[in-house]
């Protein structure tokens, strides 16, 4: 079974559960714009967000990111404006995609209210899902316009400072994810502390952080761990443990393709903050 | 294996819809979303949980309601009398039967998972306490009450959930392994030597500390994704979360893969945030997912049974090998160096 068909099944499940949370009365599912917003802007319950409130929050997030870069790099007003422009481009790109889905939703509404609504829902879900995932993993990830523009906006003095700060943050996140993944693993197979520390050290050395943050980070750690050669992992477990470890990791094998397709898999040459070959002189970029 | 992967992806999809499936915390649960009361037998649940097709959905539902089985006072004497009443006309359900049915359903659904939990924890105990095979067998037998007590705790939680009595204090989200190891420590007080007990206690403490470290770091990462914290803020936050540690955070954070926020000590957190960060932080939902107990970590049941191995273990079906095969087999036998470690 391919990862694609696995996900098709997941979509079917989502479709099956859909009527449970869209309002329904007297056998008729109520499909409203709020239902769509609830799906796209969902962030784990709480007050339902809509496009306007999500936009406001994204603006604030952009502001916080620029503030943080400014704290480290002491940006000029021109640089701040450039970064704001790039960040707004990311937000616009997201809302453009949302508008496309919204239009599709309007087009599909008659079908969604008909007997074969599952089919229409599945069609819609394929567009909602990446949108939802994008928002949840954050718009200002390594491939965003904002991050890419940094290379052309910061001076040669500022860029290393930003890189050091970004690297420190990435390492902190990566370590936390690895420790969390090991804790999850220990629900299946407890480790001695010495083993735990050895495993953390190995994973920190061998695994790369994902390209996008979000809810699949632990999953990505497990998939990467499943691809490590046995001779790196096996020596740290005893015979009985190793059998469990291998069985556990084997469940994660074969999901690389999907992670690559969704842009989450860390690339081999993952150094997005590296200065471009055509770097402009510092003074020019600062203005 | 492909079946396992499919199950995993089902779990991912269900996870994505979790906010709608979970019970909202008390403070965020509007009156109109209160659980509907539906009288049903436990064995009917699986069928009733299937989503209704649009044309069959008769009741308005703003969110998924939790099915409630009304609890009736248990009368142990009725337990046996009710059993042979197979041919009798349908009578009102006997409460004792219901409890028994719950216990059986729980055992059927989660019994294997708890066995796995127990066996793997015993293995840790064996390694940490350097138990010999006879000692291990004694410990395994005398530790059974700990397994029973752990199962009983989670059965109680699970039954209450099935009956709509959700404990929103966070106790229902306890870590099963921690519960089991605490019970084991109690049950084995007289079985283990003081040195062995101390060694196991030390290992448990180290595990708890590691869990706590991972959870605190994950919570900081979760906040950092939203609030773009400075290194100084992260350090302060570490201190705050460590000092205001809440046991329910572990399951919350590990179960939800570091995505949903538990209840956080906002009174301590807000003073270290700037105004923009505060605005975002106040808008983030917290503690509005309640998972309760729904089995052990989703994958435990799929990785096969844990088998304790000993150096003197005899293969289950010994084949009479030829002298040549014998030599070959010897060379292929896994090294037991790690085992001795």
Choose from B5, B26, B36, B298 for mutation: most chain A CBs within 10 A: B5
The predicted pLDDT at position A276 comes to: 42
Q: Considering only alpha carbons, which residue of chain A is nearest residue B177?
A: A187
CA angle B50, B55, B60 (to 5 degrees): 75
Q: Considering only alpha carbons, which residue of chain B is nearest residue A189?
A: B120
Task: List, in sequence order, the alpha helices (H) in B25-143.
Answer: 45-49, 78-82, 95-129, 133-142
Distance of alpha carbon A3 from alpha carbon A232, whole angstroms: 27
Provide CB contacts within 8 A for B174, sequence distance 6+: B153, B157, B247, B248, B251
Phi-psi region of B25 (alpha: psi -120 to 50; beta: other; left: phi over 0): beta
CB B100 within 8 A of CB B79: yes
Q: Considering only alpha carbons, which residue of chain A is nearest residue B229?
A: A68
Q: Which of B10, B123, B128 sits opposite A240 (nearest CB)?
A: B123
Distance of alpha carbon A244 from alpha carbon B300, whole angstroms: 10
Backbone angles phi, psi at A64, to 5 degrees: -65, -40
Task: Report the gap between the CA of B288 and the closest CA in chain A (Å).
Answer: 6
Task: Report the gap between the CA of A81 and the closest CA in chain B (Å).
Answer: 19
> Which chain B residues are closer than 8 Å to A10 by Cβ?
9-10, 12-13
How far is CA B117 from each of CA A14, A228, B130, B209, B289, rounded to the nearest angstrom? 31, 26, 19, 20, 25
> Which chain A residues are closer than 8 Å to B288 by Cβ?
44-46
Q: How many C-alpha atoms does B176 have within 13 Å on its Cβ side?
A: 34
Task: Report the gap between the CA of A140 and the closest CA in chain B (Å).
Answer: 10
- The mean per-residue pLDDT over the stretch A95-107 comes to 93
Q: Considering only alpha carbons, which residue of chain B is nearest residue A47?
A: B285
Count Cβ–Cβ pairs < 8 Å, chain A vs chain B: 250
**Hey, is the C-beta of A241 within 8 angstroms of any chain B C-beta?**
yes
Q: In the 8-state DSSP scheme, what is residue B294?
A: -
- The mean per-residue pLDDT over the stretch A157-185 comes to 93
Task: Report the gap between the CA of B160 and the closest CA in chain A (Å).
Answer: 23
Task: Name the residue with higher pLDDT: A246 or B57.
Answer: A246
Q: Running along chain B, 341 residues long, what does each successive block of 10 average in pLDDT?
A: 48 46 36 28 33 29 27 33 42 68 90 91 94 92 94 89 75 80 92 94 96 95 92 96 91 77 93 93 80 67 75 58 48 42 37
**Hey, is the C-beta of A110 within 8 angstroms of any chain B C-beta?**
no
The predicted pLDDT at position A29 comes to: 62
Task: Report the gap between the CA of A126 and the closest CA in chain B (Å).
Answer: 13
pTM of the shown model: 0.73
CB A154 within 8 A of CB A235: no
Q: Bridge-partner residues for A29, per DSSP? A: A24
Q: Considering only alpha carbons, which residue of chain B is nearest residue A197?
A: B210
Q: In the 8-state DSSP scheme, what is residue B51?
A: P
B195-249 residue pLDDT tens:
999 999 999 999 999 999 999 999 999 999 889 999 999 999 999 999 999 888 8
Phi-psi region of A46 (alpha: psi -120 to 50; beta: other; left: phi over 0): left
The predicted pLDDT at position A28 comes to: 55
How far is CA A130 from each of CA A137, A256, B142, rounded to the nearest angstrom? 10, 17, 52
Provide CB contacts within 8 A for B78, sequence distance 6+: B94, B95, B96, B97
- Please name which of B25, B15, B18, B17 lies closest in space to residue B166, comparing C-alpha atoms: B25
Range in A78-82, A187-191, B262-266, B312-316 the model is least confident about: B312-316
> Which chain B residues are closer than 8 Å to A27 by Cβ?
54-58
Q: How many C-alpha atoms does A191 have within 13 Å on its Cβ side?
A: 22
Distance of alpha carbon B161 from alpha carbon B307, whole angstroms: 33
Distance of alpha carbon B156 from alpha carbon B179, whole angstroms: 14
Are the Cβ atoms of B21 and A17 closer than 8 angstroms? yes
Q: Which of A7, A71, A215 sits opposite B230 (nearest CB)?
A: A71
The predicted pLDDT at position A212 comes to: 74
Distance of alpha carbon A7 from alpha carbon A126, whole angstroms: 10
Are the Cβ atoms of B276 and A21 closer than 8 angstroms? no
How far is CA B84 from each of CA A41, A251, B92, B94, B97, rounded to the nearest angstrom? 55, 45, 15, 13, 12
Q: Do β-strands A24-25 and A28-29 pair in parallel, antiparallel, or remain unpaired?
A: antiparallel
- Strand (E) or helix (H) holding A260: helix A256-261
**Local confidence band at A109 (pLDDT 50, 70, 90 cut-offs):** confident
Task: List, in sequence order, the alpha helices (H) in A74-116.
Answer: 77-112
Q: Considering only alpha carbons, which residue of chain A is nearest residue B5?
A: A251
> Which chain B residues are closer than 8 Å to A182 by Cβ?
210, 214
**Hey, is the C-beta of B13 within 8 angstroms of any chain A C-beta?**
yes
Task: Report the gap between the CA of B110 and the closest CA in chain A (Å).
Answer: 14
Are the Cβ atoms of B214 and A248 closer than 8 angstroms? no
- Please name which of B126, B116, B214 lies closest in space to residue A182, comparing C-alpha atoms: B214
Q: In the 8-state DSSP scheme, what is residue B286?
A: B
**Hey, is the C-beta of A56 within 8 angstroms of any chain B C-beta?**
no
CA angle B222, A66, A150 (to 5 degrees): 105
Task: Report the gap between the CA of A239 and the closest CA in chain B (Å).
Answer: 6
């Amino acid at each position: 079974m391919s990862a694609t068909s696995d996900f098709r099944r997941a979509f079917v499940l989502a479709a099956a559960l859909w009527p449970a949370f869209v309002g329904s009365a007297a056998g008729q599912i109520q499909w409203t714009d709020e239902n769509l917003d609830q799906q796209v802007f969902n962030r784990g319950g709480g007050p339902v967000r809509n496009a306007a409130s999500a936009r406001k929050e994204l603006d604030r997030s952009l502001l916080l990111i620029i503030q943080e870069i400014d704290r480290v790099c002491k940006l000029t007003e021109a640089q701040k404006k450039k970064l704001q422009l790039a960040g707004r481009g990311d937000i616009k790109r997201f809302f453009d995609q949302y508008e496309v889905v919204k239009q599709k939703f309007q087009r599909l509404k008659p079908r969604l209210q008909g007997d074969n609504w599952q089919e229409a829902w599945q069609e819609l879900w394929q567009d909602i899902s990446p949108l939802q995932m994008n928002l949840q993993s954050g718009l200002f990830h390594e491939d965003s316009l904002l991050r890419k523009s940094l290379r052309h906006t910061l001076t040669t003095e500022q860029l290393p400072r930003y890189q050091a700060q970004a690297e420190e943050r990435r390492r902190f996140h990566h370590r936390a994810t690895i420790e969390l993944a090991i804790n999850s693993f220990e629900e299946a197979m407890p480790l001695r502390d010495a083993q735990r520390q050895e495993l953390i050290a190995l994973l920190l050395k061998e695994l790369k952080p994902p390209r996008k943050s979000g809810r699949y980070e632990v999953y990505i750690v497990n998939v990467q761990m499943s691809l490590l050669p046995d001779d790196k992992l096996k020596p740290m477990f005893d015979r009985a443990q190793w059998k469990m470890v291998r069985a556990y990791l084997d469940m994660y094998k074969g999901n690389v393709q999907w992670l690559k397709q969704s842009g989450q898999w860390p690339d081999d040459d993952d150094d997005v903050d590296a200065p471009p070959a055509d770097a402009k002189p510092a003074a020019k970029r600062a203005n | 294996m492909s079946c396992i992967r499919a199950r995993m992806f089902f779990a991912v999809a269900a996870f994505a819809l979790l906010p709608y499936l979970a019970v909202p915390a008390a403070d965020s649960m509007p009156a109109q979303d209160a659980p509907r009361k539906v009288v049903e037998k436990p064995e009917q649940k699986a069928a009733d949980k299937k989503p209704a097709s649009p044309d069959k959905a008769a009741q308005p539902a703003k969110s998924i309601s939790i099915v409630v089985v009304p609890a009736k006072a248990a009368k142990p004497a009725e337990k046996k009398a009710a059993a042979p009443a197979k041919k009798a006309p349908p009578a009102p359900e006997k409460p004792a039967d219901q409890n028994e049915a719950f216990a059986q359903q729980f055992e059927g659904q989660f019994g294997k998972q708890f066995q796995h939990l127990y066996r793997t924890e015993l293995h840790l105990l064996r390694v940490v306490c350097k138990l010999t095979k006879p000692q291990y067998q004694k410990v395994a037998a005398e530790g059974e009450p700990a397994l029973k007590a752990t199962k009983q705790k989670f059965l109680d939680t699970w039954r209450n959930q099935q009956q709509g009595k959700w404990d929103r204090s966070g106790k229902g989200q306890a870590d099963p392994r921690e519960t089991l190891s605490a019970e084991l420590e109690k049950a084995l007080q007289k079985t283990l030597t003081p040195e062995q007990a101390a060694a196991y206690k030390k290992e448990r403490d180290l595990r708890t500390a590691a869990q706590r470290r991972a959870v605190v770091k994950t919570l900081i990462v979760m906040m950092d994704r939203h609030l773009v914290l400075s290194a100084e803020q992260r350090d302060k936050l570490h201190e705050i979360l460590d000092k205001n540690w809440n046991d329910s955070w572990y399951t919350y954070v590990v179960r939800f893969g570091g995505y949903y926020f538990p209840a956080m000590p906002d009174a301590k957190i807000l003073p270290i945030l700037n105004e923009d960060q505060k605005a975002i932080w106040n808008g983030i939902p917290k503690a509005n997912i309640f998972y309760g107990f729904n089995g052990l970590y989703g994958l435990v049941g799929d990785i096969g049974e844990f088998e304790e191995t000993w150096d003197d273990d005899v293969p289950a079906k010994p084949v009479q090998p030829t002298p040549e095969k014998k030599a070959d087999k010897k060379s292929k036998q896994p090294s037991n160096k790690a085992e001795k470690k």
